Amino acid sequence: MGRQLLRATLVLTVGLLLTGCATIRVSSQTDHGIIWSNYKTFDWGLADALPAGDPRLEKDPFFRDHVAGAVEKAMATHGFVLSATTERPDVVIHYHANVAERVDPDYVDRDYGSCASDDCRPRVSRYEAGTMVVDVVDAATNVLIWRGWAQGSLEGVLGNRDRLRRRIDESVRQMFETLPSAR
Amino acid sequence: MLRFIRPVTVAGVLIAALALAGCATLRVNSYVERGADFTQYRSYAWAERGAFATGDPRLDNNRFFSQRVEEAVDMQLSARGFEKANHATADLLIHIHARMEQRIDAGTLLVDFMDRRTNRLAWRGWAERSFDGVIENQEWMEATIDETVARILAQLPRKPL
């Protein structure tokens, strides 16, 4: 009985992790030769030439405003100053949001022994994953100096303002933890 | 523009399964124009440079990815005695295509060598592999690019000594 309960809990936990309910994966890339103290001011760039993102996100004013607010806040905590409209900023920021189906094989059965025979096939979970990419570009040379992104399942997030807002905040906060400071 | 979009069903799931199981799946292959003597070529130039579309928003227009690929190709070709030349005089023009399958974090990297005079494909090499977790770690991504490009170009016909 106790073992069964433990197994059920374990299966449920791993299941939640695999479907990515609350998991956000963040990462970033940069050029390690960059001298970040050269950059102080930032501004938003024009819409970029990236392939069209998902209209459910990029065409949603709530999403756009909230991303802008979260990114501006994150930049401020790193010592960057939003440029006055009359002067050229040191860096320009672009972001891009994309939704794609992801497929993850589900190893719960095999790994935790609830599948007895040899022909157990991995079950496959499919879900809609969102990717938000934020680019920091040197405004003078138009060269990418930092790219951060966050990925996670959008199950129950699209169409729920409160969850979407929290997801944006958390994604931007975690993503920007790797950004060097302008100090 | 060559695209390698295939219906990923059983094979895709299998690749993802292998990736999760920790097996490094890397398959390389190449094609050489029939009757062509690849060893006659001495110099090359990049047909176009800069960030390319990949089908993965993390890698689209990402110079940290595209430049690493170009550098890895330059390094391998230099080691094989090819000279980098002017676009107008080079024997070969190089194109890179990358196609990522976001659903399973797997992708194809393809290197084309065009004969500049005839504008025909002289040699094509490619690799298909899983990228699970690789893109999220820049150093690992760079090492993976280097290894993948080396494996692709290891298939180039050898010049006679």
Residue of A nearest to B18 (CA): A105
Instruction: For chain A, give the number of residues.
Output: 183
Lowest mean pLDDT segment, chosen from A115-124, B17-26, B108-117 = B17-26
B-chain CB neighbours of A53 within 8 Å are: 57
pTM of the model: 0.77
Residue A151 counted as domain residue: yes
Query: Which residue range forms the structural domain that includes residue A61?
Result: 23-105+120-176
Contacts of B137 in chain A (CB under 8 A): 27
For residue A49, list chain B residues with Cβ-Cβ distance below 8 A.
61
The answer to the question of residue A74 being in a domain is yes
The CATH number that applies at residue A46 is 3.30.160.670
* Residue A105 to residues A9, A58, B55, B104, Cα–Cα distance (Å): 19, 30, 21, 9
* Average confidence (pLDDT) over B118-124: 94
Residue A157 resides in a domain: yes
| Structural domains in chain B, sorted by start | 33-153 (3.30.160.670)
In a domain, A153, yes or no: yes
Structural domains in chain A (count): 1
Do the chains contact at B16 and A144, CB–CB below 8 Å?
no
Size of interface A-B (CB pairs under 8 A): 65
Q: Tell me the ipTM for this assembly.
A: 0.73
Q: Is residue B69 within 8 angstroms of chain A, CB to CB? A: no
Average pLDDT score over residue span A118-147? 85
- What distance in Å separates the CA atoms of residue A52 and residue A140, rounded to the nearest whole number? 25
B137 touches A at CB < 8 Å: yes
| A128, part of any domain | yes
Contact (CB, 8 A) for A145 and A137: yes
Q: Is B58 touching A (CB cutoff 8 A)?
A: yes
Contact B103/A at CB under 8 A: yes
Closest residue, chain A, to B63 (C-alpha): A144
Cβ distance A50 to B103 less than 8 Å, yes or no, reads no
Choice between B91 and A125, residue whose per-residue pLDDT is larger: B91
Q: Strand B92-101 relative to strand A24-30: parallel, antiparallel, unpaired?
A: unpaired
Residue type, B26: L
- A108 pLDDT above the threshold of 50: no
Min Cα separation B103/chain A (Å): 4
Q: How far is CA A51 from CA A61, A95, A96, A173, B108, in A?
A: 19, 12, 9, 25, 19
Q: Does B53 touch chain A (CB under 8 A)?
A: yes
**Mean per-residue pLDDT of chain A:** 81
- Contact between chains at A103 and B12 (C-beta distance less than 8 A): yes
* Within a domain: A90: yes
Q: Is the pLDDT of residue B28 over 70?
A: yes
A177 touches chain B (CB under 8 A): no
How far apart CA B19 and CA A124 sit, in angstroms, is 14
Is residue B140 less than 8 Å (CB to CB) from chain A?
no
Residues of A in contact with B64 (CB under 8 A): 29-31, 144, 147
In eight-state DSSP terms, residue B91 is: S
Phi/psi at A107 (5° precision): -95, 5
B118 contacts chain A (CB < 8 A): no
Task: Confirm whether A12 is domain-assigned.
Answer: no
Residue A150's DSSP bridge partners are: A26, A132
Q: How far apart are CA A158 and CA A128, in angstroms?
A: 10
Reduce the DSSP state of residue A145 to 3 states and report it: strand
Name which of B57, B103, B137 is nearest A102 (Cβ-Cβ): B103
- Residue A124 in domain: yes
Provide the pLDDT for residue B120: 92
| Residue with token string 């006055």 | A84
Higher-confidence residue: A24 or A22?
A24
Q: Quick one: pLDDT band at residue A145, thresholds 50, 70, 90?
A: very high
DSSP B95-127: EEEEEEETTTTEEEEEEEEEETTTTEEEEEEEE
Whether A122 shows a pLDDT value over 70: the answer reads no
Compute the distance between CA of residue B3 and CA of residue B18 in angstroms, rounded to an integer: 24
For residue A172, name the pLDDT band (cuts at 50, 70, 90). very high
> Which tokens go with A10?
């374990």
Start-to-end C-alpha separation, chain A: 58
Look at residue B35 in the predicted model and tell me its pLDDT: 79
CB-facing half-sphere around the CA of A160: CA atoms within 13 A:
8
Q: Which residue bears the tokens 């906060």? A: A173
